[in-house]
Structure 1
């Protein structure tokens, strides 16, 4: 009777978050993975660290080292960015080498790569050219190939998959609309079932889609729409629901080909409009049996898919930031020293390096789970939101390091395009604000909690036995976890049972402590805020932050363990864990401050907040790690290669850079990396010269002047001098920014000066003459 009364009271009060039909399909899609461990309050790190950690197969590694490298070599990223045209040889190579077929089974002509291989390739190409990468990412992510592979009829698989594999069909996915972005379930696109004059069942479509990547060049659309069947011809009812069908370019009533202009590196993206477009009902993916199953299909594939393409691009961006900023800081000198030795620069470099290590750890851990048949929607949402945001932050840090060389556009700027393009990934597949404040904790609190989903289902079904059993379990869980939290708080995590890993175990204890507190706070939120959680997005956003950074810290340690606990990488792991725990601490403080106007909220805002501040989970060890971590990307070697990972770096022969012509015609990345190598090779010589100056064997002057004096006195050899000269020469070219004539700048051969200005007061002045600029020019028609 007590449980019956409680159940009726909860139903009447709508105490649990209400679950709509579309939300239920999202909640039931995929699996609970390490996110469930955090919500449990007692994470089993030994179990997590024993899970598979993917490596590329020999076939996949051969593809990365072969065709992927070749594709990047044939594409100049600056030329593609400025012309917005991909070379035809690259287009042909994409098709012939199988770049469209990573998801497609080999029996249908595909390469059938692992999720790890697909994300590795996407990360590598995206960091080289975002426009080029869209031609690889879109065919190999949510869309025609993936949906047909999992849900298509046999006839659809046999017809479409081989043609998608060869690029005969270039797909795009039509979902987003002017009034349905992050709230994709509210799409207005409509399809009405009818019989034509011959008695054939068809669908008349009307829709307006936007932000559709590859729409201007695609010839096959996977279109999402709401299907209405007034005469119930398909046997699914008059309002079947969201459906996905295939629409071919050129069909009457279909308009496509216009372009949007994305920020940064503009890629092929545009609108698709359909007015009374008629298709056969058989074009529904999966046939008429799958009418109304579109939302389920999308949620099931997004459950893992969000962890692949966008996180891969984000990881590629962080890698590029690490490689470029580390090399530039070593090459660029100010105040007689490389800027890499300045503490202010080191703070930025350390964060970039540690986040490159962390983001790659997260990428591999997640795709390993996908390859092990996990489909974790909450973790996928976290990876999408937090890795893309992390990439944007590290692009900003790299820009700070490179300063003027980062803000002046041109082929010599190796970081600016990535910085400008960063906001794109933030908005795709659900804007990060919505992913953080609605999806991550909204799904996680119900699906990943040990008992919440069972209780919600029992309340909806008015199932007393299930409700009673789940409520008893929840009460027991709360009692045990609250006791655990008290013990962990009093001992600062030392009561936690964690694996013994030198230099890392203290962080695992703190993560166990954080998990227990997170589980306690989740219980309190479900009990006191309950059905109003959807509206409390500021609170749920802070919960998402605490969850996300715990998962990222766990991923970092997982990588360290999987790679054999390489001791020189330990400072990277410690920095990443300190950084993540600081984010978790901040999130907890915000949760305590914003919990709500109820007794629990009052206690958290007062006593709880004070306790949280005087006994924080984060230490103060970040600053001491900065110099060591910063150096990991300012010196070539195995460690720097592990941090930058599979990043495309143009091959070069340093000796060739002695030629003025070769150096002048070298790309910005190649020139910077050549300078990076040359500076390191000449470092011993430079130290000899500096030591000679300190010993007053040579007079103080520029490096070149002191080197000449050192050579004359036999302190260095002619070969030494040659190494130093080459390093200085290539370094100067590497730090130079691009210059453009007025004709190049305005794209008009008739322009001599900026339009609206003219040469005045100085007769016969020519460009470059030795007079002050304001004497040359005056404003006309002001």
Structure 2
């Protein structure tokens, strides 16, 4: 019977087919907390026990020393005008070891933790993406990382010390005009041949684009499809063209036939990015990373490193950006006044500030939690993809919220604009390392449902291998698992998660654990139903699988916020932030489930579209955060106090208090110090002890005479008013500064701008 069932399932494509490249992706990395979500049974005791790490003293010293100095030397506006990093700044980056974070100490590197690398990137990126890429690229997927894990000893001895010193400036050539997110379809070709001197070499032909640091790199790793038609490596390739598979080959700048140096012009912060071209480029066989034995292993190498790597650089930049948005928007909403009061007290503004505060708290928790897992030996490809896609997506939305709060001050460009460049640069992070739209609709659930499910991959393997015994045992196990999951989900629905196992956590957060456990049980059941009812067609149902990805993502992000709250000692002042974050996540999970129910296929579709939707609405997992929750979250970042300083830790706070963020934070500090006096005057105005219709600073002297405040309070109020007015000014340019001139080569030259 099972043999017939197996044959029927295979012929009707009930289960997803797995290509060789998909299998290598599935086999890469590890299953982490995502495994609990896919089996439909949250293990919160395990989650709370997972590491939530801190920086070492050495790493913190580097952050407080060289990183601070680098950013103090960085003029984002001037780099934007010139599109260049000065030779002096570039040399500082090299001399201080900014390109060596991944490299072991024995080769001259820093050998920092993943968390430290992420934290450094999170601090640098929001100040200047131009400078940030000079740190990100050498310390992410590329020559150093691949050589560390797969390189020959000779490659390690030669390249790693030079990469650590910045003598080799690397880039990684993967993307092509016809191969972006579908990187496995690359057309770049490497052909093995016997040269006149009798040595086996590689002739490369390629056309790469969107390659960061390509215009200035002198060591380029090219991902190509390697062919060995003469069987020079003795692999006895089965196909006639001797295709060995994707291979990573190093090409040095100056190699005949290799062309680099041209630039693309990225939106937002300019950074070094451009094409790479190769026409009959001949390199030694030893230029394969790992040597000849790693010929054809490039895709596996890339998938193994990206399994954890996606959780690092792009999430770091995104989360660092949201923390800057939170600090700046919280400060601006307190400093800027309209209608006689800080705009942050107006409910429309408060709603956006609250969202920024709550979600930035959650994203920072996810960043630290994810990096801690990688440092603990995990390489979770599904969670890494979630962190990459959703941190960059949410960050883009939060900077838009911040722009709305800053209003006119956000759209006037110049050295004093705090958010504008981050707003313009946000789409870059959304598109790289796999465009978010495809990561969400193809990768996260497609890979997770097969890899992280306790039975799915084994059942698929049984069908593919025609192993009836394996198929029977795993299918029966799956059916039993589904029945138990269905009962669990229904029980949690009826009791609103009352019997979800919750460990010793803050009493104020226990309800969130229960509802997340309930949501997890439902996710497990709906995953089984999707694989049973839709099966192999799931690959084509991107809208549906995207909603499944949304559930998984918000489960992960909410869990991270809760983990942060526990790890940081259950600070009562942070409770509004974790409450907002968890409530928002449950609301998004609820919306995603309703979307799944409305769009489910087949006979089950009738039930999900009617009874399922009805039950979801009458007993929802959650709704949008309340106005009161939003207000409490907003207040967490609207006063310059110990909590604000702690939440802003890890971002660069400029020492120059005459410009941009530094100027705003100075005003914020002064306004916060004066606020108690202002509140007393406002209360006196309401009691008709002082005239209405005036700002507190405007009637400070009268308030002193009325004994509402004292003389020192009056001075603080007047200083605060001056600081407010100064902090909201935007840049002005004379015509000579503003207009560009066309030079003899047809390019544009800008005169140096001054502050307004």
TM over 0.5: yes
Residue 551 of structure 2, aligned match among 543, 546, 552: 546
Q: Distance in 2 between matches of 1:717 and 1:748?
A: 56
- The residue number in structure 2 matching 1:754 is none
Q: Distance in 2 between matches of 1:690 and 1:479?
A: 63
Q: Distance in 1 between matches of 2:136 and 2:409?
A: 30
- The residue number in structure 2 matching 1:517 is 522
Instruction: Give yes or no for contact 1:510–1:617 (8 Å, CA) kept in 2.
Output: yes
Q: Distance in 1 between matches of 2:153 and 2:333?
A: 56
Query: CA 1:713–1:526 in structure 2 vs 1: closer, same or farther (change >3 Å)?
Result: closer
Residue 271 of structure 1, aligned match among 251, 258, 275: 275
> What is the correspondence of 1:554-569 to structure 2 with a 5 Å cutoff?
554-569=559-574
- The residue number in structure 2 matching 1:208 is 207
Instruction: Give yes or no for contact 2:550–2:589 (8 Å, CA) kept in 1.
Output: yes
Q: Distance in 2 between matches of 1:692 and 1:530?
A: 69
Higher mean displacement: 625-634 or 739-748: 739-748
Query: CA 1:538–1:693 in structure 2 vs 1: closer, same or farther (change >3 Å)?
Result: closer
Residue 471 of structure 2, aligned match among 452, 467, 481: 467
- The residue number in structure 2 matching 1:735 is 728
C-alpha displacement of 1:55: 0.5
Query: CA 1:622–1:684 in structure 2 vs 1: closer, same or farther (change >3 Å)?
Result: closer
C-alpha displacement of 1:88: 2.7
| Long gaps (5+) in structure 2 | 744-756
- The residue number in structure 2 matching 1:9 is 8
SS at 1:101 equivalent = coil
Instruction: Give yes or no for contact 2:584–2:623 (8 Å, CA) kept in 1.
Output: no
Instruction: Give yes or no for contact 2:140–2:313 (8 Å, CA) kept in 1.
Output: yes
Query: CA 1:688–1:607 in structure 2 vs 1: closer, same or farther (change >3 Å)?
Result: closer
Q: Distance in 1 between matches of 2:702 and 2:342?
A: 22
SS at 2:42 equivalent = coil
Residue 587 of structure 1, aligned match among 574, 583, 592: 592
C-alpha displacement of 1:235: 2.2
SS at 1:674 equivalent = helix
- The residue number in structure 2 matching 1:117 is 116
- The residue number in structure 1 matching 2:510 is 505
C-alpha displacement of 1:638: 2.7
- The residue number in structure 1 matching 2:318 is 314
- The residue number in structure 2 matching 1:440 is 444
Query: CA 1:407–1:620 in structure 2 vs 1: closer, same or farther (change >3 Å)?
Result: closer
- The residue number in structure 2 matching 1:58 is 57
Residue 746 of structure 1, aligned match among 719, 722, 739: 739
Q: Distance in 2 between matches of 1:363 and 1:247?
A: 34
Query: CA 1:609–1:684 in structure 2 vs 1: closer, same or farther (change >3 Å)?
Result: closer
Q: Distance in 2 between matches of 1:704 and 1:11?
A: 78
Task: Tell me, yes or no, if structure 1 residue 284 matches structure 2 residue 288.
Answer: yes
Q: Distance in 1 between matches of 2:570 and 2:58?
A: 27
Query: CA 1:523–1:688 in structure 2 vs 1: closer, same or farther (change >3 Å)?
Result: closer
SS at 2:202 equivalent = strand
- The residue number in structure 2 matching 1:81 is 80
- The residue number in structure 1 matching 2:661 is 669
Q: Distance in 2 between matches of 1:679 and 1:91?
A: 38
Kindly tell me the number of residue pairs found equivalent between the two proteins.
736
Instruction: Give yes or no for contact 1:75–1:87 (8 Å, CA) kept in 2.
Output: no
- The residue number in structure 1 matching 2:632 is 628
Deviations 1:96-119 (A, max 9, x none): 111000000000000000000000
Instruction: Give yes or no for contact 1:693–1:706 (8 Å, CA) kept in 2.
Output: no
C-alpha displacement of 1:188: 0.6
SS at 2:248 equivalent = strand
- The residue number in structure 2 matching 1:379 is 383
Q: Distance in 2 between matches of 1:628 and 1:568?
A: 10
Instruction: Give yes or no for contact 1:332–1:339 (8 Å, CA) kept in 2.
Output: yes
Residue 686 of structure 1, aligned match among 678, 684, 692: 678
- The residue number in structure 2 matching 1:411 is 415
- The residue number in structure 2 matching 1:660 is none
TM-score between the two structures when normalised by the length of structure 1: 0.92
Please provide the CA RMSD for this pair.
1.6
Q: Distance in 1 between matches of 2:250 and 2:576?
A: 51
SS at 2:208 equivalent = strand
Instruction: Give yes or no for contact 1:553–1:580 (8 Å, CA) kept in 2.
Output: yes
Instruction: Give yes or no for contact 2:573–2:636 (8 Å, CA) kept in 1.
Output: no
Q: Distance in 1 between matches of 2:711 and 2:647?
A: 36
> What is the correspondence of 1:350-369 to structure 2 with a 5 Å cutoff?
350-369=354-373
Task: Tell me, yes or no, if structure 1 residue 173 matches structure 2 residue 172.
Answer: yes
Instruction: Give yes or no for contact 2:35–2:454 (8 Å, CA) kept in 1.
Output: yes
Query: CA 1:12–1:102 in structure 2 vs 1: closer, same or farther (change >3 Å)?
Result: same
Deviations 1:34-58 (A, max 9, x none): 0001011111100111011111011
C-alpha displacement of 1:415: 0.8
Q: Distance in 2 between matches of 1:189 and 1:304?
A: 26
C-alpha displacement of 1:723: 2.2
Q: Distance in 2 between matches of 1:637 and 1:10?
A: 62
Q: Tell which structure's C-alpha radius of gyration is larger.
A: 1
Deviations 1:378-430 (A, max 9, x none): 00000000000010010011011111111111111101111111000000001
SS at 2:23 equivalent = helix
Q: Distance in 1 between matches of 2:413 and 2:190?
A: 46
Q: Distance in 1 between matches of 2:365 and 2:718?
A: 40
- The residue number in structure 2 matching 1:156 is 155
- The residue number in structure 2 matching 1:195 is 194
C-alpha displacement of 1:691: 4.5
Instruction: Give yes or no for contact 2:584–2:625 (8 Å, CA) kept in 1.
Output: no
- The residue number in structure 1 matching 2:581 is 576
Query: CA 1:456–1:330 in structure 2 vs 1: closer, same or farther (change >3 Å)?
Result: same
SS at 2:111 equivalent = coil
Task: Tell me, yes or no, if structure 1 residue 126 matches structure 2 residue 125.
Answer: yes
C-alpha displacement of 1:715: 5.6
Task: Tell me, yes or no, if structure 1 residue 528 matches structure 2 residue 550.
Answer: no
Instruction: Give yes or no for contact 1:189–1:205 (8 Å, CA) kept in 2.
Output: yes
C-alpha displacement of 1:683: 1.9
Residue 713 of structure 2, aligned match among 720, 723, 734: 720
C-alpha displacement of 1:373: 0.5
| Long gaps (5+) in structure 1 | 653-662, 751-782
Q: Distance in 1 between matches of 2:179 and 2:357?
A: 38
Query: CA 1:727–1:293 in structure 2 vs 1: closer, same or farther (change >3 Å)?
Result: same
Q: Distance in 2 between matches of 1:533 and 1:693?
A: 64
Q: Distance in 2 between matches of 1:359 and 1:32?
A: 21
- The residue number in structure 1 matching 2:24 is 25
C-alpha displacement of 1:222: 0.8
